[in-house]
Structures are given as structure tokens and as C-alpha cells.
Amino acid sequence: MDANKRQRYEKISIELTKLVGGKDNIQGVAHCATRLRIVLKDNDLADLKAIEDVDLAKGVFVAGDQVQIIFGAGLVNDVYEVFAEHNNMKNMSLSDLKTVANKKMNPLQRIIKALSDVFVDIMPGILAAALLTGLSGVLGNFDFVKANETLFGINKLINISSGAIFGFLPLAVAYSACKRFGGRPILGIVIGCIMLSDSLANAYAAAQGTVEVTVLHIFGLGVKLVGFQGGIIVALLMGFVTAKLDLFFEKKVPEVIRLLISPLLTTLVGALLLFTIIGPVGRGLSSGITNALVWMTQNLGVVGYAVFSGLQQLVVITGLHHIFGAIEAQLLADTGRNFINPLMSVAIIAQGGAVLGYLIMHRNNAKTKELCIPSFVSVLFGITEPALFGINLRYRFPIIGGCIGGALGGIIVYLTNLAALGFGTTVLPGIALADPTGNGYVNYVIAHAVAIAGGFIMTLVLGKFMDKTPVTETVVSSTAQTEQIQQIEPIVFDIPDKEEFFGYAKGQMIAMEDVKDETFANKILGDGVAVIPEEGKVYAPADGRIISIFDTKHAICFSSNCGTEILIHIGVDTVNLQGKYFTPHVNTGDIVKKGQLLIEFDKENIQKAGYDTVIPMMFTDFPDGKTLEVSKPCNMTVDTNIANVYKKA
């Protein structure tokens, strides 16, 4: 690192240390491919707004217990080195940082994070069941479907499929929970099978009194042999208990008999606890939660609905919203209708309305458009993090407008008795889950229209008094800074009239806005494309040179022969794998040709580890003398033209 760079990074480090509350407030620091990640004792001492203006910083947000500052590929390595040295925290890995962050969490936060991890793993199945339920409900309303035996038969199979998935949901939850807490997943499946065994009376039939329930007496306790259909919370508890039992017996049972005795004891003790303690406690807890929510709707009426939908997105900011999945599942199991889903949905779309309101107020600001448009698109599919952290929280008044819009939507949900027949998806896809009873689909649209309009209008109104955003935002603050940047990057390339970039992986090309990560989706690191890969290989998109390969092997910086720099990032948050499942075939400084294999990765095992394997490719630090034209999404191969770089006229 030359003297000019080090001097600049030292200045950044001194300023950052001050803005995060001083050295005494820093508990840990590490970095990934693009972000400097800092764990603080007290996040409230950090001036996030001022950090946004720090030299070379492209953005800042709080994720979990980490303050994450985006510097970009390559640059973050050097900034981290100087910052960590300045604060005496060098050689801390991301794993070490996560350990520090977890210690900082209170017990409730740890529980919520665990719940989130459990449901993320099985969400594809839940979504499939929910959408199939919605599709079956829609088709069942058409007379021509009922009259046509083929269509009727197909709809019947759809209904059976959705019912089967939800019917065995406790098994899936027990499996995922056991896996999450360190046990062998197969033992979670075994406990799930016991919960739903045909030898037990069906829980729904027992509740209706249409089946005789056998009662056993164990240790003086009356144990009813009733199944746990719909017992989501019981399944969560049993998954945790099974994992801990498995870990305990694996340590205590002698190795010579461990393979036979350890799973036997885990299953036996787990089953006893299920029927004597965990089951009754879980049933009581489930009943209490459901009854409390139903009480709110019956006794607080429109006020309860409005408060819930008005504040729900504030709960998202804290991370507590992940618990709603378990509550929704339990609510469906107990009542057959889920009023929480449409309340959450109108809360989400209202924040989208706030984004549109802010966009209209700053429509002449190019950076605002880059943030707002993809954030709003994400909202349409139920993802609000880019909108919340990128715009609404950042500028404060839009989130207030969004909350008011959400409350207005909640009032419509109450007045129209709107509910869903599933859970797991909201806003546009969520209409498929709406209960069609009483013009449910029309009411769904009306509630969302009111919510988005409310968020939009209230943001405009509040902005008249509260908007302090500058009219323009300058990228370079002074001529001196420009000269300093030029000293750091002295190489000048001849810019051709047209430069072509080709496919870097085989698979389905998607727009950058569709990547499920706010940094990529908001193009903070640059515009580009992404691909959902069919195989675990990444190729060179053009002739050029390897600038760097990250130590964790999940990302690579590449420069074309004409000096256009790109970053190829394999997966989302795959830096946490610490290089596992990645095999580079080139080294830093290598000259490569278009289509040359750069990195191989184990796609299946990365997905099994819970990571999204989408591969974004971003044009970083794009110079003023060039313009970028990105191709439309298609099936990408190494011969597909994915982008053209043109010389400005």
C-alpha cells in the first residue's frame, strides 16, 4: 500500500472511529467482499447519517447487530486493514465477529433469530402450499371448472397437494428446528412422524368430539393419545429438545454402542417428553396466542386492526416479524382463516407508497431514482428491507407516512372481514391466498389501494414540513479530492466505441433489482446483471486481467483489456462459508480470455447450507466517459451478450 493510499485510509479510520462512538464502543470488526462490518456496544452512539458522508463510503445500514459500511470490492480490504490496526482488532474473522454479535443479543433476540432460521429453511414448501391453496380456491369458484371433469380433477389434485403439505407442516418444522439447533435432521423427522402418527387420534376430530381418545397413565399423569396436526409451536419446541438430546447422548454414550443406543435414547426420551410435558405446554401456548389475537379482533375491533397494520413494519426493523410465521400457521390450524396476512400485506404496500411519495418529491435526483425504483419493485413482492433501510428510515418522514397508510389499509381489512387461506406471501402474489368469501379478491385490491395511496399522500404531506434532503447530492466534494483519486488510479485506457461482455455462467439471467439482497438490488456497488446458475462454474465475460480473488474465494475482481472493472460475487452472504465449496482456477494478476473458467463452486452444498447461489456481476467504479447498456433477461450461456459498454459521444 503506497503512502498516499495509507494516509487517506488512516484519515477515514480516524473519522469512522469517532463517528461510531470511539474505540471504547467497538466490540469487533471484520469485512466481507464489499462491506466493513462493525459490532458496537451501543449502536445509538453511531452517527449513521454522518458515516454516509465519509470519504469513499457508498452506503451504511444496520443489519442485525452489525453496522455495515459499503466500500466496494478490493477497497474494503485496504480500509479494513488500516481501520482494524487503528483500533487494535486485526485478524478477526467473520466467524469471530458473529460470535461477538450473538453475545450482544438478548435472549428474546436469540429466540427470534432461531425462529427465522427455522422457517427460512422450509419456506419454499410453505410458499408452495400457500399458493396451491390460493390457486385451488380461485379455480373452485368458476362454474366451467366444476363442469369439466378434467379441470375439476386437476383442481382436486391441487387441493390435495396443498392440504398434504400443510398437514405435514409440523414434521417439516421439527426437521428444520432439529437441524438449526445442531441435531441430526433425520431425528427431527422421526419426532415429526410420531407427532402425526396414525396410531393417535386426529387432533381436529378430537377437538370436535367425533373420535374416541385413549388415555394412558404414566407417572401418575393422564396422557391423551391425540395427534399434533397443526401443532407448529409444539414442533418448534420438540425440534429444539430433540437436537439437545441428540447432542447430549452423542457425548455420553460410549462410542462402541453409540450408533445404536444414542438415537434410540433420543427418540424414546423425546417421545416421553412430547406426550407428558412439551405437548401439553405447547398446546396451551398455541391456544393462548390464538385466543389473544382473536380476542383483539373481537374486542378492539377496528382499532386493533389499525394498530397492528400501522406498526407491523416497525416490527420488521427490529427483526421480531419472523415470529409471525409460526403464529399464522397456528392461527390457520385453529380457525382456518388468517387475518394477519392481509394486515401485514397492507403494511408492506403502504411503505411502497411512501417510497413513491419520496420519489415524486425528488424526481430530478438520479441517485434517488436508483434507490426508489428497485426498492418499490421489491415491495410489490413483499420484500421491504430495501425500502425501509434505503429510503424510509433513512429520511424518517417516509416511514411515518407508510405507517399511517398501513393503518388505513388495516381499517379496510377490518371493515371487509378480509382474511387469507395461507401464509408466506404478500402483496401481488398474496392475492392468490385471499379468502374469496364476500368478494375477497376485490376487497384485497381495495385495501391495498387505500394503503398505498395513504402512504403516498401522507409522505407528500409530511415532506412539506420534515424533508431536509438536499436537492442535489454531489459525488466528489472538491477538486482536491478528484486529484487525489486520480493519483490513486493513474492508469488511463483508450475507450473504444463499443465493448462487449458475454455470459459468465450458465443459467437464467435476471435483473439486478431481483437479487434478494439490498446492496445488490439497489445497485450500490454498481449496475449490472445477475444469473441463477445451473452449474457451479464461473467464466470470464471478456478478455482481461484478474485484479484480485478474495481470500474466501466467493468473489473475484476482473478488469477488461479496456480498463472496465467488474465484480463477480457468487451467492449472497457466502463470505460466511470462509472459502468452503469454492475452487479458483486462476490467480491474482492472471491474463484470461473470454469464456475461460475462473472459479468452480459446489452449488448443491452451498444451497444445503442455506445460501442463495445467485451470481451478480457488477460494473464497479464506472467512469464518466462510458455508458452501460444491459441486455434483457434470458437464458445465459458463455456466448450470450449480456452487456455493452459504449464510449460517450
What are the residue numbers of the active site? 32
The answer to whether 239 touches 274, Cβ cutoff 8 Å, is: no
Q: From 23, 18, 26, select the one nearest 43 (Cα to Cα).
A: 26
In whole angstroms, what is the distance from residue 44 CA to residue 21 CA?
9
> Are the C-beta atoms of residues 620 and 567 closer than 8 Å to each other?
yes
* H-assigned helices in 253-381: 255-273, 279-295, 301-318, 324-335, 340-361, 366-380
CA distance 44 to 569: 32
Record the cell numbers describing residue 69, joined without a space: 459500511
Instruction: Report the C-alpha dihedral over residues 231, 235, 236, 242, rounded to 10 degrees.
Output: 160
Check: CB of residue 533 under 8 Å from CB of residue 506: yes
Relative to beta strand 66-70, strand 537-539 is unpaired
Are 410 and 305 spatial neighbours (Cβ–Cβ below 8 Å)? yes
Helix, strand, or coil (residue 345): helix
C-alpha to C-alpha distance for 579 and 570, rounded to whole angstroms? 11
Amino acid identity for residue 394 in this structure:
R
Across the beta sheet with 59-63, the strand order is 26-31, 35-40, 66-70, 59-63
Residue 87 has φ and ψ, to the nearest 5°, of: -105, 10
Name which of 185, 197, 200, 201 is nearest 266 in CA terms. 185
Q: Are 347 and 313 in contact (CB under 8 A)?
A: yes
Rounded Cα distance between 600 and 582, Å, is 6
Contact (CB, 8 A) for 352 and 381: no
Q: How far is it, in rounded angstroms, from Cα 503 to Cα 521? A: 20
Choose among 575, 610, 552: nearest CA to 68: 575
Point out which residues pair with 37 in neighbouring strands: 30, 68
For the chain, the C-alpha Rg in angstroms (whole number) is 27
- How far is Cα 350 from Cα 337, in angstroms, rounded to an integer? 23
Per the DSSP assignment, residues forming a β-bridge with 538 are: 599
Cβ proximity of 539 and 504 under 8 Å? yes
